[in-house]
Chains A and B, each alone.
Chain A
């Protein structure tokens, strides 16, 4: 009963424990750096705090702790699981940030503080059931992210990316708020449960409510870079420092998906509207968004010459896969979606980490710069190959297993296969085939094409550790998915 250790320390504030540690981090980081520019100390304290938060979170997760604090923060297995995901991302980013040449050293206090603030927002979102408080959490993360992108100073691309990100982010925020106000106007509450009740009770279609929901989908669609709201993602991921890109691609995006799940999935599932007007319409809306998002992401990724842009488009496509759960709206689909979010952290995170490590070693971001890498850095090339194959869904890696669960959920549930979303499963698997094409191009550059140099590449130790962690989980979750998948089912409640 490891959760008791945590409750004995935090008492009735246990649901806030992780948040307390993260907020503490956000507040003390600039202070630590003030003491004579001790970048190493800042980094070490940040790392220790993340590990503490992770330890607390894992303790709460394994005992499936459920609790409420201050009447607004609800901690349950779902929160624990999603927080674990965010904390893993935070841990990986913090781990490599000190060694990366891209993250600015002169502002390390601000940098870590922003990372912690963003993570606080993410964890906070998963503890909420009210549209407005969810909105607050999302904004905390978003505003911190704009600043994080801009922190890579004296780089034109980063400045452009930050401005673009801030403007588009601001627009999506406005859209979301507009949608929330419409929904509030019709349903009379911002509580998701109350809105669900409204949907269940109402008998005639209301345009105001529909527009409100659509505006919210669009607003949050920007956050997860769903097509057609995806334009900012490649520029931002390319312009930002690679650890930050990784944070955005694997962390922020998951927060957006968590919001989708908490707001829309819960709303419609609570309302039990399957086969009724709002349910049917929303299912097909999400199905179309999912299909278009994965297709556009994969097709455009083929044309990319910059590996960060390619990874950006591929993570757009991955968000499309995860959106399948929104279309299918079964518990099986939701837990498969959660599981895919987890595997995506390790495979996409690993790929970004390798790109970041190679930038530190002086290798460019173009795919052509990766020529002959297998001879220069055999381990990195092999790891990159495994991450990319996992993203493409090659067995027996994590990406295959999670896609298997996800696509299976589109075909039906045990006891009944339904033909409704089989087409979505077809499109998704077809997309996996397309994606292998551009991943294989990188593998070919690394293994077959001759590079200009044969000098061995040395990368910082921290990167190596982070990459090994990702690699272990990509293989482990591939051959033993139950490790996380059982918690996904627990979080969804099956």
Chain B
């Protein structure tokens, strides 16, 4: 048995501990520790992705961890087509975020980097775990660093936003935890409950549809709040507005995906019958999120808040793909998760830079920034275009095939008018992005704020944004690079549901 998957968790953990210990005069060097450890993690993730270590199945790890007469819990990690992309995305974004924040001078720098690395530990754990106990532990571990990240390093209303974020998502995960308990108890007739994914999947079949759909609701609620889906989205704009740029990137880029990942990995895989039972509810929530998120974007004056609402809309698109419960739907839903991770990282970096360099993120106060900050404007345009789904960029392959899969679904169910919702969302998305771009970048230079101190992107920020732009274009012209992992997974999944 190899320990390659464990190393993805342990290396960031060591990084976090070292960074935490570097207090006092050494605290400014903690960023190099963070960059070093996250770079090693990324290399390992990349090697796994490229198949250097052999088949994914050969990497599985499983140890019995806790064994008593009530529970059996395992330290079990696995990787497959679904998780490999998320692992890669996590490793990539954490490294890029670390580099992005190189120039920033903040107090207690070492805690900041320790928090980022601790978050990576939890995220990797969530995407690799194949035991409910381990999954829940890792799920909670992501929450704590993010809470402190917002509460310690955030904007003026940070305490309110941090506690709102925490309580909202924690209450959701408590519902999920109780769902896990019920799931475990119902999956065995007697004796200890084995919490491994496989054991539960086999055992829960015996439970009736009624209890399965009840469990589905509890778990789905937990994941849905994390995604977030309307009407449980209100923590997200607040958290994003107050979080530091680095926090926002990780929050939107990889933490929201935990929700959709959980829906696929647990709700759909373990409870397929219940998923069919609730299919229309999933689709209704998805459409509501798409439309409401897009409408919300138009109303925002804060650039970052607008991007936050666009995340709600795009994660709704992910849920729509999942809700189709078809091969194409799930494949492209996951691809949309990946694409959104890349794009949203760019978006939040650009928005964060706006606040940082110009002094405000209020769209009405901005204007004509392209003339003074051309490189910044270029990246902003790339990010916006990718997000609204311009063909040739990665966003296109996330959105349109999902709509295609949905089209198949509504055709089969004879509700063709529902396509109108998709059209509406596309129009709105294009609309708010173009409108925001026009108001901030173009036109006459604003006179409402003092632009004399505004300066263009720094070296590190440039490098990070360049890497992201290249990836956005790369996966835009060659989506197969990612899809080759997803298609086998999705077809195997759809085969059993």
Residues B68 and A486 in contact, CB atoms below 8 Å apart: yes
- CB nearest neighbor in A for B162: A440
Residues B66 and A482 in contact, CB atoms below 8 Å apart: yes
- Which of B185-193, B301-309, B328-336, B380-388 is near enough to bind chain A? B185-193
Considering only residues 478-494 of chain A, those with a C-beta below 8 Å from chain B are: 479-482, 485-486, 489, 494
Q: Does A422 contact B (CB under 8 A)?
A: yes
Main secondary structure on chain B at its contact with chain A? helix
- CB nearest neighbor in B for A434: B167
Residues B181 and A412 in contact, CB atoms below 8 Å apart: yes
- Please tell me which one of the listed residues B69, B133, B140, B177 contacts residue A394 in the complex, with CB atoms under 8 A apart: B140
Q: Does A417 contact B (CB under 8 A)?
A: yes
- Which of A101-109, A320-328, A425-433, A457-465 is near enough to bind chain B? A425-433
Residues B24 and A414 in contact, CB atoms below 8 Å apart: no
Contacts of B137 in A (CB 8 A): 395-396, 400
Considering only residues 104-136 of chain A, those with a C-beta below 8 Å from chain B are: none
B 131-156 to A, binary, CB cutoff 8 A, 1 in contact else 0: 00100110011001001100110000
Contacts of A92 in B (CB 8 A): none
Interface residues of B, CB < 8 Å — how many?
Answer: 43
Residues B182 and A412 in contact, CB atoms below 8 Å apart: yes
Q: Does B401 contact A (CB under 8 A)?
A: no
Residues B23 and A408 in contact, CB atoms below 8 Å apart: no
CB distance from A292 to the nearest CB of B (A): 19
When A394-B140, A426-B178, A430-B171 are in contact, do A440 and B147 touch as well, CB less than 8 Å? yes
Contacts of B167 in A (CB 8 A): 433
Q: Does B37 contact A (CB under 8 A)?
A: no
Q: Does B199 contact A (CB under 8 A)?
A: no
CB distance from B10 to the nearest CB of A (A): 13
Q: Does A39 contact B (CB under 8 A)?
A: no
- Please tell me which one of the listed residues A332, A417, A433 contacts residue B70 in the complex, with CB atoms under 8 A apart: A332
- CB nearest neighbor in B for A404: B133
Alpha-carbon gap, A395 to B23, bound state (A): 25
Q: Does B71 contact A (CB under 8 A)?
A: yes
CB distance from B450 to the nearest CB of A (A): 31
Residues A417 and B185 in contact, CB atoms below 8 Å apart: yes
Residues A448 and B108 in contact, CB atoms below 8 Å apart: yes
Q: Does B358 contact A (CB under 8 A)?
A: no
Contacts of B68 in A (CB 8 A): 481-482, 485-486, 489
Residues B140 and A415 in contact, CB atoms below 8 Å apart: no
Q: Does B276 contact A (CB under 8 A)?
A: no
Residues A444 and B152 in contact, CB atoms below 8 Å apart: yes
Contacts of A374 in B (CB 8 A): 23
Q: Does B455 contact A (CB under 8 A)?
A: no
Q: Does B163 contact A (CB under 8 A)?
A: yes
- Please tell me which one of the listed residues A401, A411, A482, A489 contacts residue B182 in the complex, with CB atoms under 8 A apart: A411
Residues B152 and A375 in contact, CB atoms below 8 Å apart: no
Contacts of B170 in A (CB 8 A): 433, 436
Residues B23 and A417 in contact, CB atoms below 8 Å apart: no
Alpha-carbon gap, A417 to B189, bound state (A): 11
Q: Does A413 contact B (CB under 8 A)?
A: yes
Question: Total A-B residue pairs with C-beta atoms closer than 8 Å?
Answer: 101
Considering only residues 406-453 of chain A, those with a C-beta below 8 Å from chain B are: 407-409, 411-417, 422, 425-426, 429-430, 433, 436-437, 440, 444, 447-448
Q: Does B426 contact A (CB under 8 A)?
A: no
Q: How large is the interface on A (under 10, 10 to 19, 20 to 34, 35 or more residues)?
A: 35 or more
Alpha-carbon gap, A206 to B171, bound state (A): 42
Q: Does B166 contact A (CB under 8 A)?
A: yes
When A395-B141, A426-B174 are in contact, do A489 and B181 touch as well, CB less than 8 Å? no
Residues B140 and A395 in contact, CB atoms below 8 Å apart: yes
Contacts of B65 in A (CB 8 A): 479
Alpha-carbon gap, A494 to B24, bound state (A): 52
- Please tell me which one of the listed residues A407, A408, A415, A433 contacts residue B71 in the complex, with CB atoms under 8 A apart: A408
CB distance from B270 to the nearest CB of A (A): 15
B 109-133 to A, binary, CB cutoff 8 A, 1 in contact else 0: 0010000000000000000000001
Q: Does B67 contact A (CB under 8 A)?
A: yes
Alpha-carbon gap, A325 to B193, bound state (A): 19
CB distance from A328 to the nearest CB of B (A): 12
A 363-383 to B, binary, CB cutoff 8 A, 1 in contact else 0: 000000000001100100010
Alpha-carbon gap, A332 to B185, bound state (A): 13
Residues A378 and B178 in contact, CB atoms below 8 Å apart: no
Alpha-carbon gap, A404 to B70, bound state (A): 12
Q: Does A405 contact B (CB under 8 A)?
A: yes
User: Looking at A409, A429, A479, which has the most chain B CB atoms within 10 Å of its CB?
Assistant: A429
Residues A411 and B178 in contact, CB atoms below 8 Å apart: yes
- Please tell me which one of the listed residues A412, A436, A440 contacts residue B185 in the complex, with CB atoms under 8 A apart: A412
Residues B152 and A433 in contact, CB atoms below 8 Å apart: no
Contacts of B147 in A (CB 8 A): 440
CB distance from A112 to the nearest CB of B (A): 37
Alpha-carbon gap, A440 to B152, bound state (A): 11
Residues A414 and B185 in contact, CB atoms below 8 Å apart: yes
Residues B144 and A414 in contact, CB atoms below 8 Å apart: no
Contacts of B186 in A (CB 8 A): 417
Alpha-carbon gap, A401 to B174, bound state (A): 15
Alpha-carbon gap, A65 to B66, bound state (A): 25
B 155-173 to A, binary, CB cutoff 8 A, 1 in contact else 0: 0000000010011001100
Alpha-carbon gap, A400 to B171, bound state (A): 16
Contacts of B152 in A (CB 8 A): 444, 448
Residues B66 and A414 in contact, CB atoms below 8 Å apart: no
When A417-B182, A433-B174 are in contact, do A482 and B23 touch as well, CB less than 8 Å? no
- Please tell me which one of the listed residues A408, A430, A480 contacts residue B181 in the complex, with CB atoms under 8 A apart: A408
Alpha-carbon gap, A414 to B200, bound state (A): 12
Residues B67 and A482 in contact, CB atoms below 8 Å apart: yes
Alpha-carbon gap, A382 to B21, bound state (A): 10
Residues A433 and B166 in contact, CB atoms below 8 Å apart: yes
When A374-B23, A375-B23 are in contact, do A415 and B185 touch as well, CB less than 8 Å? yes
- Please tell me which one of the listed residues B163, B185, B188 contacts residue A437 in the complex, with CB atoms under 8 A apart: B163
- CB nearest neighbor in A for B180: A408
Contacts of A375 in B (CB 8 A): 23-24
- Please tell me which one of the listed residues B67, B151, B166, B188 contacts residue A414 in the complex, with CB atoms under 8 A apart: B188
Residues A447 and B190 in contact, CB atoms below 8 Å apart: no
- CB nearest neighbor in A for B122: A395
Contacts of A396 in B (CB 8 A): 137, 141
When A375-B23, A412-B185, A444-B151 are in contact, do A429 and B69 touch as well, CB less than 8 Å? no
CB distance from A458 to the nearest CB of B (A): 18
Alpha-carbon gap, A404 to B181, bound state (A): 10
Residues A378 and B23 in contact, CB atoms below 8 Å apart: yes
Contacts of A425 in B (CB 8 A): 178, 181
| 6 sample A-B contacts, Cβ–Cβ < 8 Å, listed by A number | A375-B23, A375-B24, A394-B144, A408-B181, A414-B70, A414-B192
With A396-B141, A414-B191, A440-B147 known, 12 other A-B pairs at CB within 8 A are A394-B141, A408-B184, A411-B185, A412-B181, A416-B185, A429-B174, A436-B170, A481-B68, A482-B67, A485-B68, A486-B68, A489-B69
The 5 closest A-B pairs by CB, nearest first: A395-B137, A429-B174, A411-B181, A417-B185, A417-B182
